Amino acid sequence: MLALYNENVVKVGPMKKFRNKKLMWECIATDISNELKIYVSGIQCESRFKNVLKRKTGAVKHNKQSGNDPVEVPYQDEIDEIKSMDDSIKPEVLVSPGSIKVLKNNSQKCLAEQSRQDNKKKKTEDPLITAFRESQERREANRQRRHEEKLALLREFLSKKE
């Protein structure tokens, strides 16, 4: 079943053989039914697949805990092969702060690399923001001037009192 899933999961999506995973599981169920001469439904196949994944995650969690005896992870090789086909593990496009790399078929060949500095647009400041900044600077200058005047008055008062 895991081998059939690995073959068919890439055929799921728009403009492909299977419109959704439900149809893929039905196809896998018919293949298993024809091969083993027993009836299996698509829902049963999907449930079995999910159970295999849960058992694997449970075994991995058990093995991580210190002091526990190691448990064999069931179907480890098949699950690793399925995980390697996942686009989220090795995406087709890598975006980093310095560049954009387009990878095809999960190979490390870089087909196109662009510098983000070429794509950066010069930022033009909005006139309202400029006016607001100028207003804030004037307010700050006035506040500083009033503070200096108060300090001068206090110094003058203290010098006359002595």
Q: Is 68 helix (H, G, I), strand (E, B) or coil?
A: coil
Report the pLDDT averaged over residues 126-145: 92
Domain borders along the chain are 1-89
Give pTM, 2 decimals.
0.52
Report the pLDDT averaged over residues 144-151: 96
Report the pLDDT averaged over residues 101-124: 52
Tokens of 87: 């686009």
Strand-strand pairing, 113-115 and 99-102: antiparallel
The angle, 0 to 180 degrees and rounded to 10, between the axes of the packed helices 42-64 and 21-36 is 100
pLDDT at 91: 67
For 48-64, the pLDDT digits (tens) are: 999 999 999 999 999 99
DSSP letter for 85, please. Answer: T
**Are 111 and 102 a contacting pair, CB within 8 Å?**
yes
